Amino acid sequence: MQLKKRNMLRNKRFTPVQIIAMGFAAIILIGAFLLSLPIATIDGVKTPFIDCIFTSTSAVCVTGLVTVDTGTYWSYFGKTVIMLLIQIGGLGFMSFATLIALIAGKRITLKERLLIRESISLTSLQGIVRFARYILTFTFSIELIGALLLSIQFIPEFGLGKGIYYSIFHAVSAFCNAGFDLMGGYSSVTGYSGNALIILTLSALIIIGGLGFYVWDDLYNYKINRRLSLQTKVVISMSLFLIVFGFVMFFIFEYSNPATLKEMSMKDKLLSAFFASVSPRTAGFNSIDLAGMSMASVLLTIILMFIGGSPGSTAGGIKTSTAGVLLLTVMSVIKGREDTEVFRKKISKETVYKAFAVVVIALGLVFTVTILLTITESGAGVPFEQYLFEATSAFGTVGLTMGLTQKLTAIGKIIVAITMYAGRIGPLTLLVAIAIRSDNKTNSIKYPEGKILVG
């Protein structure tokens, strides 16, 4: 009896969210150890552990911020470690553990199903293993198609072996919205700004990975169900709006900017403006010089990075559905409606409160990190917008930078690494924590209504 109680206490010690957070931390440490080995670098030298931790965190959190150039610093062993960390981080370590368990023929326990549910943002345990299988199959299929398309350019350019490796690496990085590249010189894909094959393939991988596995499953089953869920409708509507809006604004803002689009042909301008709209959601590739963008484009990029992708996807940020709920709530208030409504459906007050809480906490985190960076990195001599850009990019797990990442001090690297980790784990932790509290607590006390003037 005593042994049974001890086992029960041991099982209740950590919640699924805590286990997921610790799992990500463990993978980061393992990745940092592997990257610290001399075999991981081209020159065979041991990398400072702070840079290993930073790179591993950036890979697992599918961010893309780097303190050393990925293409020219790491050996193929190091690059492969980074690619595997990106894949595990993009899928979620529980989905990857499920893959190993399925290959080994191991039965998925109830506790493991709970962890999988939390890691991929589902509300039900029904069909969880089938959905995990679908995620793995869908991911590897899309990445394979992306790699085949990229190989059309990379194999003739780099040769067979290197071309195949580059194709696979960038397909994984793009689908997982990581933004790591192997082009060298911190150049990202600026050398391919006019290459429609590369830009459109990467854009497609970014968009597909950022929409979320639930949305694609819902779209696939449309021919059976003949209807789409409200989640899918909101996510697709918001994603299309942000892509089109960003594309038009970037094209207008940068059209006459000699540092970005002015000297390009019309085709290249359209490609670069489109990619500049897609990538901040939260991929981290860039085809134009970010430091040369106008201030309006910088602000627009910060907004897109903050919003990010969709729930249950490989992207970060506050998520499109969260931004959509707040936007719809504002529109309902303006129209004098009591409830938040969309597509003839009412959104619950609990969902609105959660969305508001996520945004407030995210803003608090970004502003706090920005202030800390202005203190710790004051010697970098960069304008304020670069600190805000870096903090937002880290929180949104984007990976875009205006050049501050390579100038970070040891303390700055730690701050940004923690921000990347919080951006990958924090919003999910918040949502689950709120859900648990609302499920397990009943507020039996009703207080009298008070009046507060707002606005």
CA nearest to 33, candidates 5, 2, 17, 56:
56
Cβ neighbours, 10 Å, residue 444: 5
Residue 159 to residue 175: CA distance in whole angstroms: 23
SS3 content of the chain, % helix, strand, coil (to 5): 70, 0, 30
Q: What percent of the chain has pLDDT over 70?
A: 82
- Torsion 382-383-387-393 (CA) sign: negative
Q: Please name which of 168, 126, 173, 115 lies closest in space to residue 145, comparing C-alpha atoms.
A: 168
Q: Is the pLDDT of residue 434 over 50?
A: no
- For residue 342, which phi and psi values (nearest 5 degrees)? -160, 140
pLDDT tens, position by position, 198-252: 999 999 999 998 888 788 878 888 777 778 888 888 899 999 999 999 999 999 9
Exposure string for 337-348, b = 16+ CB within 10 A, e = fewer: eeebebeeeebe
Stretch 408-413: mean pLDDT, rounded? Answer: 94
pTM over 0.75: yes
In 40-188 the beta strands, taken as DSSP E runs, fall at: none
- Dump pLDDT digits (tens) for 84-94: 999 988 876 55
pLDDT digits (tens, 9 = 90+) for 362-373: 999 999 999 999
CA distance 193 to 190: 5
* CA Rg value for the chain: 22
Sign of CA dihedral 355, 360, 366, 368: negative
